Amino acid sequence: MARLDFANARIGARRARLVGPGGLRELLARGGLEGRLELLRGTAAGARVPAALPAGADPEAAVEAALRAALRRDQARLVAEAEGAGPRALLVAYLGLESADAVKAVARGVAAGAPLDRILAAAPETPELPARALREAAATAEVGAALEALAATGSAVAGAARGALAEGSERSLLEVEIAADRAALARARAACRGRGEDGAVLLRHLSDLADVRNAETLLALAGAPPARDPFVEGGRRLSPEALRSLAAAGDAAAVRAGIASALRVPEPALAHGGHAEGALERAALAPLLREARLRPLSIAVPLAWLFARRAEVRRISLLLRGAALGLAPDEVLDLAEA
């Protein structure tokens, strides 16, 4: 295991600057978008929020895009600071999972007919899916064309998603998303081979992410048994046998109970989409935080910080969008802190 003394020491200071529950409440308490943005610009997360938003743009989408730009800067800085080629390769492999997030965001947005800037704000740029390719795909009129445009970059993740759609017209958007996650997780797992203890740390985290993906799939099926095996490989808390049993149960309540027991999340949270996402997010982060405490000079520390930074962007974006929609403050906070 490489000793990440320098990189991990700097992460300690950065972790203290994350916008936590108190910061979210303070943001919401500010009246109006401009008041919130004034406060947000003073945080590390909001450092790239422009002083004046583009005229005619969706303001919340513009802010989310700026939050993601700051996140990309922090990710690149962290990779550059990591001591040794091995840890850097593992961090790059982990960040490669964002290609699946980009494919899913574009597919969902195009399917919903969302505005271009909103789709692009939710789709993280990656080396294999740069801004130009994302914009071209997001501007298409249907999901097949969007996936074709993404796959034209040579992205294996986008190619897998396109293949899932092409296998039959009855294939759902859910199966496209599963295919993207399956390809991204498999690629990251392959990068862990021969990487010693740091590789094993990342592999365990990837197993937890596979469990989350499979739990999301079960919840999306709403108790309806799938026609095909819809699960990704590599989970460690939801075994293939448990997944098949829950999928065959045909009962949404039984599915939620099974997931709650296996992943140690509150069962009531799984009945609400926004709460379920937050609960499953915490289920994947908790083991990583334990790894970071046990191995303070390992790759677990930057992995946990990267995970938390991505969650920070999601929560701030949710808060701003919920406030713009006129949701009650308690409801906005409930979603953002879920």
Q: What is the pLDDT of residues 73-124, one digit of tens each?
A: 999 999 999 988 999 999 999 999 999 999 999 999 999 999 999 999 999 9
Q: How high is the pLDDT of residue 31? A: 82
Phi, psi of 35 (to 5 degrees): -65, -40
User: Which residues, in sequence order, are CB contacts of 290 under 8 Å at separation 6+?
Assistant: none
| Half-sphere exposure for 161 (CA within 13 Å, toward CB) | 33
Q: Give pTM, 2 decimals.
A: 0.92
Q: How confident is the model at residue 170 (pLDDT cuts 50, 70, 90)?
A: very low
Cα separation, 133 vs 150, whole angstroms? 6
Q: How confident is the model at residue 2 (pLDDT cuts 50, 70, 90)?
A: low
Q: How high is the pLDDT of residue 10? A: 87
pLDDT in tens, 18-62: 999 999 999 999 988 999 999 999 999 998 899 888 887 799 999
Q: How high is the pLDDT of residue 236? A: 95
Concatenated DSSP letters for 160-181? HHHHHHHT-TT--HHHHHHHHH
Q: Is the pLDDT of residue 249 over 90?
A: no
Q: How confident is the model at residue 137 (pLDDT cuts 50, 70, 90)?
A: very high
- Amino acid identity at 316: I
**Exposure of 320 by Cβ count < 10 A (0-12 exposed, 13-18 middle, 19+ buried)?**
buried
**Exposure of 230 by Cβ count < 10 A (0-12 exposed, 13-18 middle, 19+ buried)?**
buried
Compute, in degrees rounded to 10, the torsion defined by CA atoms 26, 29, 34, 37. Answer: 20
Q: Residues 281-293: what's their mean pLDDT?
A: 95
Cα separation, 310 vs 209, whole angstroms? 14
Q: How high is the pLDDT of residue 54? A: 81
**What are the residue ranges spanned by the domains of the chain?**
1-82+309-338, 86-191, 195-298
Q: Is the pLDDT of residue 1 over 50?
A: no
Q: Is the pLDDT of residue 71 over 80?
A: yes
Q: How confident is the model at residue 338 (pLDDT cuts 50, 70, 90)?
A: low
Q: How high is the pLDDT of residue 3? A: 65
Of the listed ranges 69-78, 155-164, 205-214, 246-255, the one predicted with least confidence: 246-255
Q: Is the pLDDT of residue 196 over 50?
A: yes
